[in-house]
Amino acid sequence: MHVAVSPGGTRDGRFLPNGIRWVVERLFAWLSRYRRLNIVYDRAADLFAGHIWIAMASIISRRLVAQTQAEQSV
């Protein structure tokens, strides 16, 4: 077995993951906060897809509001 430190990071020392895997895992983490998605999976696929759309719209709108407020305060 070979263990190595993953190269990556920024100038300010924060860890910056490489690749698409991080993006997908982060998306699943955000979606897991929506309880409705955890209980509605056994119903119709179009209903589940609708709940995904609602969750993503909620996530994106909250991030945009937070970003706008941060830019206004600077």
State the sign of the Cα–Cα–Cα–Cα dihedral 50, 51, 54, 59: negative
Six token digits for residue 32: 């897991």
Residue 23 has pLDDT above 90, yes or no: no
Distance CA 22, CA 13 (A): 18
What mean pLDDT do residues 15-30 have? 72
Name the more confident of 37 and 54: 54
Vertex 36: Cα angle to 34 and 49 (nearest 5): 95
Six token digits for residue 46: 């179009």
Name the more confident of 34 and 21: 34
Residue 39 has pLDDT above 80, yes or no: no
The mean pLDDT of the chain is: 77
